[in-house]
Amino acid sequence: MIASLNPSHGRADGLDSPVEGEAIGNQAGLVAAPRRILILRPDNLGDLVLFSGALQHIRNHWPSAHITLCVRSFGRELFAHCPHLDELIPYESLRWMAKCRWPRFLSESKFLRAILQQMCSAALPAANFDLALMPVMAPLANYHRAMALMTARSRVGVFGRLENQSDREERQYRTLYSAQMDASKWPMDFPEMEANRLFLQFIGINVNGEDIWPEFWTKPADVEEAAKLFAGLGAQLVIGIAPGAVSPLGKRLPPEWYLQVLQMAGSQNLSFVLLGGKNEIDICRDLELCMRQLDGKNSVVNLAGKTSVLQLIECMRRCDLLLCPDAAPMHIAAALRKPVLGVMGGGHGARFHPWGDPNLARVVRKTMDCYGCNWNCKYETFRCIQEITPADAARELRSLLKAMH
């Protein structure tokens, strides 16, 4: 139970340095049997995929609680049919309020805070909670401001990760929380899945790593739509390619790079499906034009911008192998236990490397001594990605293809 957590009792301003392994905060205890729970996850689709397997354990731990998940639009697509949730609310409805900068108001002006919370309640009718969780390992300051807008008896978050916030911001918002998991001693590349498991443990839910394997909740209509989109591919081996990486754009490789990889790997008599959302339409169109140069009886189907999130998952399920950069499709492929070759840079080190069977989930990368830069690159381009050679990627791809025969 959450009541087992023991926030430290230090200075009233909550600015004591955390003790490794302990919760920190400014309240004596937390709600033991919450009736209404909020989970705030305003981060990216890949992060939500990695977190999806934790939801069943939160539900099992509090079976009678009303559980609300606050996510962006793509998250509402992903979790639209999740049986472990009672409600989905849009982060977009409070994002503009969360972006407002209030240097001292949150701690000094209860009147302003009350007004903002009333505005938030008007935008999000179910904004009053017993317990609010933000299991984001490296939050933005905006996420803390969004958490402050939620009326909650207890708030639980993560302390000590400064990749996306300054030390001053982190300290400023620390007093919002009843307890925070101390992640300050973790290396930059601490695996995200293990971090999710430790957050569950922090709130009293003990699980093993395999227990939080990601879940997807698609519907028969999604399966049928994927079947229609794949209808013309025949019986050939299908390689799915998701070349887009929305953030940062420097993670993208040019279409010619993929063409060279496929030529070196041997691409005769294969089918290719190009996958991505609306932001990837342009790069997939350019890649489709490039792939017309491949020798052999290959078919190419471009599905970029033509699928919902759940349809994308079912399309990936129908692929035999996936080639993806460090983005959400790579995590979806790993979750589906599909053979996947991840093209990885060093911004987060190995934090988001695909997990599972290393014979299925492989990576190609260019190791550099500046790994762990959080994409604050000191070079004009992301050399750790842009200098990955097609030959290295082709070697790994050939190995995966050979293992499938």
Q: Are residues 57 and 159 in the same domain?
A: yes
Q: How far is it, in rounded angstroms, from Cα 321 to Cα 241?
A: 9
Strands of 204-293, DSSP E:
237-241, 270-274
Residues 193 and 308 grouped into a single domain? no
Q: How many angstroms separate the Cα of 151 from the Cα of each of 32, 91, 204, 277? A: 17, 15, 23, 35
Kindly state the helix (H) or strand (E) to which residue 227 belongs, with its residue range: helix 220-229
The answer to whether the beta carbons of residues 274 and 288 sit under 8 Å apart is yes
Over 60: is that where the pLDDT of 2 sits? no
CATH number of residue 27's parent domain: 3.40.50.2000
Q: Global pTM? A: 0.85
Could you tell me if 73 and 180 lie in one domain?
yes
**H helices of 103-184, where?**
105-108, 110-123, 141-149, 167-174
Boundary of a domain, candidates 191, 212, 233? 212
Mean pLDDT, rounded, of the chain: 83
Q: Are residues 122 and 227 in the same domain?
A: no
Residues 6+ apart with CB under 8 A from 100: 145
Please indicate, yes or no, whether residues 198 and 340 belong to a single structural domain of this protein. Answer: no
Q: Which H or E run includes 290? A: helix 281-291
CB-CB contact of 272 with 298 (8 Å): yes
Q: What is the mean pLDDT of residues 368-390?
A: 88
Range of the domain at 369: 220-404
Is residue 12 within 8 Å of 26, Cβ to Cβ?
A: yes
How high is the pLDDT of residue 371? 87
Query: Are both 187 and 301 inside the same structural domain?
Result: no
pLDDT digits 0-9 by tens, 77-112: 999 999 999 999 999 876 555 555 555 544 445 655
Average pLDDT over residues 341-346: 90
Of 6-15, 217-226, 347-356, minimum mean pLDDT range: 6-15
Greater confidence, 288 or 149?
288
Is 149 in the same domain as 271? Answer: no
**Rounded-to-integer distance, Cα 280 and Cα 303, Å:** 10
DSSP states of 161-211 as a string? Answer: --SSS-HHHHHHHHTT-SEEEE-TTS-TT--HHHHHHHHHHHTT----GGG
Total number of domains constituting the chain = 2
178-163-134-329 Cα dihedral, nearest 10 degrees: -170
The verdict on 184 and 241 lying in the same domain is no
End-to-end C-alpha distance for the chain, whole angstroms: 49
Asked if residue 314 and residue 204 are part of one domain, the reply reads no
CB 375 within 8 A of CB 382: yes
Average pLDDT over residues 178-185: 92
Q: How many CB atoms lie within 10 A of CB 353?
A: 21
Residues 258 and 114 in one domain: no
Domain end point (choices 192, 212, 232)? 212
Q: Indicate if 205 and 239 belong to the same structural domain.
A: no
What confidence tens digit (pLDDT) does each residue in 5-46 have? 333 222 222 323 333 334 443 333 467 789 999 999 999 999
Q: Which of 193, 212, 231 is the last residue of a domain?
A: 212
Tell me if 239 sits within 8 A of 394, measured CB to CB: no
